[in-house]
Amino acid sequence: MMTLQSKIALGCKRLFDMAVAGSALIVLSPIIGLIALAIKMDDGGPVLFNQDRVGRGGRNFRCYKFRTMILGAEAIGNGLTVTADDSRITRVGHWLRL
């Protein structure tokens, strides 16, 4: 059972995390926008790649990342295995993976 003090500490941590993440998103939004535009212009496909992952307590969550490989890459070549010189990586993807 959590004490009142630990609940308050968790609430403060959550508030701090949200403030820092929100501020970072505002500051980095021009760069994020330019990366999204570059991905879209490179091959016209979707900008984001989403993937289900397992988080704390075994709970599933959806993870969104910039797409660095061609569409359908998992069904081509080495499947989920990726090397640095993989031909499925897009031009912008090479830059993002540095």
pLDDT in tens, 39-73: 999 999 999 999 999 999 999 999 999 999 999 88
DSSP 56: G
Q: Which residue has the higher pLDDT, 80 or 95?
A: 95
Q: Do β-strands 60-66 and 48-54 pair in parallel, antiparallel, or remain unpaired?
A: antiparallel
Q: How far is the C-alpha of 85 from the C-alpha of 98, rounded, in Å? A: 12
Question: Which residue shows structure tokens 């570059």?
Answer: 38
- State pTM to two decimals: 0.82
Q: What is the pLDDT of residues 22-36, one digit of tens each?
A: 999 999 999 999 999
Looking at residue 2, what is its pLDDT? 85
Looking at residue 79, what is its pLDDT? 81
Please answer whether residues 68 and 97 qualify as being in contact, where contact means their C-beta atoms are separated by less than 8 angstroms: yes
